[in-house]
Structure 1
């Protein structure tokens, strides 16, 4: 896979040292970005596994909470202070860009208020032609929600369809909940419609699209999504076929009762798949917020990803971490290692957490529904 880091958006991505950066500062930054994720990851594993010895778990929650604050908030702020003149060109040296877009998230500032930069139209000739024709020129000063209205509308329609499938897929369980709560039949339609409308409004107008989706790389990331799913889903299906003919596969969990992989294929329902995927998209987003936007980002700065060797090393380190966290479930750890390697490579190019969450949800849901692999991880799964 060839990554062209000579393009403007990649040179300004916060991963590659800028021209003229002091070699001494670059070396220190690389060492720091290599040691920190390893130290944080080791501390997380120690806390999680040692917590088996403590019944209260309060100290574990406090410690992990502090680490999460460091990972999500304080680490990018501290790194920005000391590394902005190493990885960011002068025009990009602002905490807002480093904190959100460099980590694959959307920019609330650009979404609501736009950004004071050059017009979106890159060609001067095209810009003059538009001015001469009296056409409106989309400037980066224009808020993203105005410039991306069609994209936002398409996303809202897709979310509405996905949510509708989720209701259909879980309709029996949903009706049982209504019966237990003693709610009238009208609530069967009113509640999901109300929740759906509120969710779509929140996504479009408030913290949803502005924070969760990076629009400037969305088109490129969507193309990558097709490639990732085209690779991931066949691998899962091949694994299922292998297990059908080799039911004693080492480390593979035996299905409960007489259920087999063939039974799971027979029970598979499209609506149930979409229903589970609906929630898994956002759970996948949360996981990738930790692994791609923290561990993977640090490793891409630790290695020189302008070379293929650097790309592979950075992706390998990140994927090993992602796989190990799913132990002791061996095959789940194996699949997450393979998927994590692929996601890390594509994330270097697109920096779009939302698309990675969509892919994570699609592949994770299929793996969960077609195989008896346990999805519980950590000491509680022993």
Structure 2
């Protein structure tokens, strides 16, 4: 048992010392202050993630009953067989083969923004760099129309804040999060969304009988928040890490094949989504600890990815590490559907930056304070141009 509060401003800005304490306490830690059982270690997080029959998502994945009720029907709040039916349709534009068709456009846009920012010299990697591809290319591919695209960033951040326990941030975010749900139910429909977009394809699939039509409005929401925050926050964090560790940037510049490992290492250290919850369907023993039936269980991805039992020197940024088994994207049935797109966007940006930038000099950084997310609202850097760039 622990009275640690992971939801203070200080904890949200820097949760890692608290994660160290929780992992030391045990594989499962009862946190009565928020009515949850936290799972802070890597192997138990992975085990629980793979066991959807016991750790169900159908009763919501957030830390408050109100938002769990409001999000019933979204993809992440479902289990097989419904989850597999929905996911099969939802993931079509996000599969590697489908992403190949949009990679040239993403690569071209990545080259343009990187060239502009490097010539600019000083820029905010959290906004000017990280937001560019999701907002210029991906939002159009989703096809939510002008209003949807204009509101996506605000809606996404609010939906994650509204997923926390009932606190000031949650309460402040709920109206905006409800606005997103209302948009999905009332506006994101054929006739108002782009007919060739990913969202419209859901309704077309329903017409063919591939999934129930009533699932479509909720699935549209799954294209909104996840398509933005994970990629944007991960990109900003990775540039921050390279600014903090110039020796690691040198290694990547010397051997660009390390880019893929560097992305996974950045995701491991600064996991954009720090936690989701599950509900136990029956009493279950995990890591020698008995969790009662009907318990709200919090999977601490950000802690698991820094578990020294799994990763030696776990708090060290090492681009030679190959942590492809990190849980920043979850694992099992609920592994992030958009992870291939996120990796692609980040890779294309880094591939353009490697030949152009010798060093990132950190000017200033501002951590985001969000109930579920980890990353930066600001990562202002000075890009030192590479010779001949």
Asked whether the two chains share a fold, i.e. TM above 0.5, the reply is no
TM-score by length of 1: 0.30
> Under a length normalisation based on structure 2, what TM-score does the superposition of the two structures give?
0.29
Q: Going by fraction, where is helix more abundant, 1 or 2?
A: 1
Between structure 1 and structure 2, the one with the greater Rg is 1
